[in-house]
Amino acid sequence: MKQLKFILPLAIFLALAVVLYNGLGKDPKLVPSPLIGKPAPAFQLTTLSDAGKTISPADMKGQVWLLNIWATWCTTCKAEHEILNVLAQRGGMKIVGLNYKDDRFKAQQWLRREGNPYQVNAFDQDGRVGIDWGVTGTPETFVVDKQGVIRYKKIGAITVDDARDTIIPLVKQLEAEAA
Binding string to another protein for residues 50 to 69, with x set by CB under 8 A, is what? --------------------
Could you tell me the smallest distance in angstroms from the CB atom of residue 132 to another protein? 16
Specify the residue, 60 or 77, whose C-beta has the smaller distance to another protein: 77
In angstroms, give the least distance from the CB of 85 to another protein: 19
**Closest by Cα among 59, 81, 79 to 68:** 81
* Max CA separation in the chain (angstroms): 67
Smallest distance from the beta carbon of 7 to another protein, in angstroms? 4
Please select the residue that binds another protein; options are 49, 86, 127, 134, rule is CB under 8 A: 127
Piece of 34-42, 47-55, 148-156, 171-179 that binds another protein (CB under 8 A):
148-156
Q: Other C-beta atoms within 10 Å of 83: how many? A: 20
Rule CB under 8 A: say whether 176 interacts with another protein: no
Say how far apart CA 102 and CA 108 lie, in whole Å. 10
CB atoms within 10 A of CB 1: 4
Residue 26 as a binder of another protein (CB under 8 A): the answer is yes
Could you tell me the CA-to-CA distances from 90 to 82, 131, 168 in Å, in that order? Answer: 12, 31, 11
